[in-house]
Amino acid sequence: MQTTPLDEARMQPAVAWAAFRGVLANPEDTPRVFELIRAMAGPSLRRGLWRFRNTAFGKRALVRRPRLLSRLQDKEALAALPAGSLGRAYFGFVYGEHLSAEELVAAASEADAGYAFADADLRWFRERVRDQHDLWHTLTQYGRDPFGEACLLAFTYAQMRNRGVGLLVLGGAWKLSRAMGWRVFAALWQGFQAGRHASWLPAEDWERNLALPINELRRLLAIGPPSVYWEVKADAADNGRHSPLASAPDRSASTVQPSAEAAPEERQAVV
């Protein structure tokens, strides 16, 4: 089958618009989300690789190319990590609801059908950033409800500057604010600012970080609590409002910081 190279920095606005409309029509169509992100990536991925390559960990990792996904798939090893560690919190976040690290891989693979990378470093870097998504959920404490996904995407946009991610945030803001009120914008802004002020997470040694205490890691990476997100969720729950397409009442809506190992809600897309 003929493939199109993904290495080029050209954006595909027509493809992106069709994907965006598809996500608006069906917010649970995760492959469409990846299609939009790919179509609007432009030079952001290659800039990210350049930045990664100029870090101490990046130099080592591009030689060894550790496979983060393998570590995240090892349930026994994650469950054996110390209580309060990032790895144990991740285990509770992902596997507590019988989800898996492979979900995003499958969605990304479907979106990338007919495309390929000529640059092996670029392909590996893209996959590594993709596989960090639920680690970022765990650290930032944004849930998998559509509102939490939108806030994490705002954080992600600040970290990676992919225009497709930014477009998803704007679409999510429009839809979520209609259901949950104008303070959705304040929560998204907090997420964006958090992403700007945090350490650059793609260059972290996550294989090592899995064993570290999660609260200490948050301090080291300058990731604070998502206070506005919690407040808006609590207010929405008190007034009988929930994120669009939420499949069940939001169990984590609280102004109190949730447990680091709290079980997540079902994965849902943003807009």
For residue 270 the two structure tokens come to 């943003």
Query: What are the domain boundaries of the chain?
Result: 4-238
Tokens 């802004």 label which residue? 189
pLDDT, one tens digit per residue, over 22-33 is 888 887 777 788
Query: What is the tens place of the pLDDT at every residue in 66-89?
Result: 999 999 999 999 999 999 999 999
Q: Are 45 and 125 in contact (CB under 8 A)?
A: yes
* pLDDT at 48 exceeding the cut of 60: yes
Segment 161-190 mean pLDDT: 93
The winner for highest mean pLDDT among 11-20, 28-37, 90-99, 159-168 is 159-168
The 10s digit of each residue's pLDDT in 205-243 is 999 999 999 999 999 999 999 999 999 999 988 777 666
More confident residue, 13 or 170: 170
